[in-house]
Structure 1
Amino acid sequence: MATPLMSLTWTDHLTGRQGFLVVDRLVRGVASGGLRMRPGCTLEEVTGLARGMTLKEALYYDPAGRYVPLGGAKGGIDCDPRDPEAYPLLVRYLRAMRPYIERFWTTGEDLGLSQDVVDRAAAEAGLVSSIQAVYPLLDDEAQARRRLADAFAVEVDGMGLDELVGGCGVAEAALTALDRAGVPYTETRVALQGLGTMGGATARFLSRAGLTVVAVADLKGTIANPAGLDVEALLAARDAHGTVDRAALRPGDRELPGDAWLSARAEVLVPAAVSYAIDAENQERVTARWIVEAANMPVRAEAEPPLAARGVTVLPDVVVNSGTNAWWWWTLFGDVGPDAEEAFAHTRRAMRALVGRMLARAEAEGITPRAAAHALAADRLPELADRFGWYR
């Protein structure tokens, strides 16, 4: 992995807890990447995520589009978001990172943090916005900010548009792979780890496309039903952290151990919660044909060769979960308006094209989809450098 442009570790003076910021690359002087909060978060993890953001941004480069991709960055805080100290810690972290956020790091929700919590803490830390560094790049800042605010106010069947676009992209990546393989949706079962922002929206889109969701895992364990779970009932019974109230389960639903999702009898496995969920040891339990990485870095590198040897295709996070990030910028720069159907249609078109190119290159060159995605991004990075210059 290339050395990032900037890497820092922050230690909170009150609790001794640590936070991290890694800027992998700048484009037009700005980098994009969310802020996560989880116990055990490390600088190494944040560095990998920042590199992934550089690749995600580059994959969406379209010289004809209003949105011009930014560089890649990521932030992380080593704390359980449910800890009573988590919110004040977040505010202190953002105060410490204020010079970077004001000048070149645009950030937002990621694992453990919702956008409304980030926005509230950013305001308390004295920031105009968590994405204010991008404002000088906009043609009409006031209009762009109104458009994004209007988009965040849109709800569809009880879920915010900002939550849904990511799941729409994940689902479309899975559906594209099924279509290329000629597998009918109605004969496809899905198991998910995580029913939070990304996992919940993904479950809804896949269920509505005709797939059968047979298992979902949350902090309390795995809920399974080989005949299919009632996805909408589970979504309605979630708390703010994606944990399902077991009172909502039907007679045929079973409660299984937390890791049972991994070996569920399903064609599609969607890790949509934590990083490093699938490693060299537990990959042996996977029976699915596809792993669709809705979370960031859920499959460890050492797990991919044995998975590939068993015919399991991993659709990589840099493509699969890139829809949310792209939608933010499409909306802010004016490629799409604050309308759900327009956002979903744009996301579906972009994801279909991107996954199609990735799988075609993987097949043509005999490489994994991840290697193909990285190659596609590597092709575009020099184009960005030629147009905007190198910033490291």
Structure 2
Amino acid sequence: MSISANASKYDPWLAYLTQVERVTPYLGKSIQPYVNTLKVAKRALIVDLPIVMDDGSIRHFEGYRVQHNLSRGPGKGGIRYHPDVDLKEVMALSAWMTIKTAALNLPFGGAKGGISVDPTELSARELERLTRRFTSEIGPLIGPQVDIPAPDVGTNPQIMGWMMETYSSIKGHTVTGVVTGKPLHLGGSLGRVRATGRGVFITGVEVAKNIQLAIKDCKVAIQGFGNVGSEAAYLFEEAGAKVVAVQDHTGTIFNENGIEVVELQKYVHHNKGVKGFPKAQEISNENFWTLQMDILIPAALEGQITAERAQNLTAKLILEGANGPTHPEADDVCLERGITIVPDVICNAGGVTVSYFEWVQDMSSYFWSEAEINERLDKLMINAIADVWQKSTDQDCSLRTAAYILACERILKARQERGIFPG
């Protein structure tokens, strides 16, 4: 069984709406009339993408760009290339971006895009044609002051480079700020690739202090070993923790004495997955969820932690490196069992934070060192998780609800103060 967003019949949009319903009673009366603006997407575009394949045939792909809410600034959100991409998923991801940017107090709204495609089945030339066609179709909706895409599952800096060049060609001049996550020599930012995993580590360490969980010798299990999972694994190992299990689309590996992360990174780079790693044993994917662990990092796709899996978890702390990995019902189970969850909208916000830094650098054409970026990122993430922890304590609620309270207050206050046009 591979990691799949649809394996557990998870409805990400319904999960998001459930989270909004749960936070509504905590919001002030003056902004509650605006809550329904969070339950709809401002704008959604579905595009047909006919592509000439290398063999001369023509295939049609379906693409999406959704802008959920722009009350606090331009839309911000990644582009996902994955077979499971559909409108509901993209709507939910765009909504989570609205919450995420507000929870971090970044001057953005929420957006997301994607194409229903397995990028590994396309040649580089086919992938470039698909990307350029998609960019031209969504071009009227994006721009550095309108909506700024970035990489996500199945996309990378090269794809962002193609998007930037296509958009710039249409505009007639170079527009570096139309996307983030670009190659460095096209206006990308140092620290961007590793930022999401770094944010997972930083927020995890801060919350671990609050629940008296010592990182040294902690057993860490990670689902997903891409940019996010591998960087988080590396940083936790550096801090003295043991990464005992890793699961990805090829299978699950386990070593109770700890998996050497750098060796696994090199192995995955050459073998495209963790399966067969010689210094760990292979176990079934479902057994991953019952292993002895202190920290669980779901860093793959949404909908992975079901209520049943949550009932069997031994983890004390869950760090949501992926977007929407936990079912609402599983949230309840974890709360009852005393398992602390650092929610996705804070935990994995390191990527969008450094995307913000990249956007600012592109606007000024002045670039910072990686040390400066990491220092700014760490400070912002530490302050954000401290605010969420304090709100959770004040309101006697979960960290997820606390993050949503902070974010929704900021979004709806902006909506209230901007007013509704026409009145």
Aligned to 1:104: 146
TM-score normalised by the chain length of structure 2: 0.78
Q: Aligned residues: percent identity?
A: 25
Please tell me whether residue 9 in structure 1 is matched to residue 46 in structure 2. yes
Aligned residue runs from structure 1 range 328-343, under 5 A: 328-334=355-361, 337-343=367-373
Question: What's 1:306 paired with?
Answer: 333
Query: Which amino acid letter does the alignment assign opposite residue 50 of structure 1?
Result: S
For residue 110 of structure 2, what is the amino acid of its counterpart? G
**Residue pairs, 1:128-277, within 5 angstroms:** 128=174, 131-132=177-178, 149=186, 152=189, 154=190, 161-239=191-269, 243-244=273-274, 246=276, 249-250=278-279, 253-277=280-304
| Aligned mates of 2:318, 2:108 — CA distance in 1 | 28
Secondary structure of residue in 2 paired with 1:17: strand
Shift in Å, 1:358: 1.2
The letter of the residue matching 1:353 is N
TM-score (norm 1): 0.84
In the alignment, the residues of structure 2 paired with residue 74 and residue 31 of structure 1 have an alpha-carbon distance, to the nearest angstrom, of 8
Q: For 2:131 and 2:417, how far apart are their aligned partners in 1? A: 36
CA distance in structure 2 between the partners assigned to 1:243 and 1:391 by the alignment: 51
* Aligned 8 A contact 1:25 1:391 in 2: no
Equivalent-residue separation in structure 1 for 2:197 and 2:250 (angstroms): 22
Where do 5+ consecutive residues of structure 1 fail to align? 62-67, 135-144, 155-160
- Residues 37 and 79, structure 1, Cα contact 8 Å, conserved in 2: yes
Aligned residue among 151, 162, 167 for 1:120: 162
Please give the root-mean-square deviation of Cα atoms over the aligned residues, in Å: 2.9
Partner Cα distance (1:304, 1:240) in 2: 37
Output the CA distance in 2 between the equivalents of 1:364 and 1:79. Answer: 45
Q: Match for residue 56 of structure 1?
A: 100
Q: Does 1:381 align with 2:403?
A: no
> d(CA) in 2 for partners of 1:118 and 1:83?
19
Measure, in 2, the Cα distance between the counterparts of 1:203 and 1:57. 25
For 2:252 and 2:267, the matched residues in 1 are separated by 15
Q: Are the structure 2 counterparts of residues 92 and 133 from structure 1 closer, same or farther at C-alpha, using a change threshold of 3 Å?
A: closer
The reply to whether residue 286 of structure 1 matches residue 313 of structure 2 is yes
Given that residues 30 and 133 in structure 1 are in contact (C-alpha distance below 8 angstroms), is that contact kept between their aligned partners in structure 2? no
Distance in 1 (alpha carbons) for counterparts of 2:421 and 2:157: 29
Partner residue of 1:75?
Answer: 113
Deviation at 1:326, TM superposition (A): 1.0
Give the conservation status (yes or no) of the 8 Å contact 2:245–2:252: yes
Distance in 2 (CA, whole Å) between partners of 1:264 and 1:235 is: 22
Q: Give the aligned residue type for 1:349.
A: K
| Unaligned runs of at least 5 residues, structure 2 | 1-16, 18-38, 51-57
SS at match of 2:112: strand
Task: Summarize the Cα distance change of 1:338–1:240 in structure 2 as closer, same or farther, 3 Å threshold.
Answer: farther
Deviations, residues 280-306 of structure 1 (Å, cap 9, x unaligned): 333233221111110111112222112
1:94 pairs with 2:140? no
Match of 1:139 in 2: none
The correspondence for 1:321, drawn from 348, 363, 385, is: 348
Q: Is the contact made by 2:75 and 2:146 (CA closer than 8 Å) also made in structure 1?
A: yes
Query: 1-10 or 41-50, which moves further after superposition?
Result: 1-10
Task: Spell out, residue by residue over 1:329-367, the C-alpha distance to the aligned partner (whole angstroms, 9 max, x if none).
Answer: 124325995322222222222112211221222233221
Question: In the alignment, does 2:404 pair up with 1:358?
Answer: no
Q: How far 1:16 moved relative to its partner?
A: 3.8
In the TM superposition, residue 91 of structure 1 has moved relative to its aligned partner by 3.0
Bigger mean CA deviation after superposition, 220-229 or 27-36: 27-36
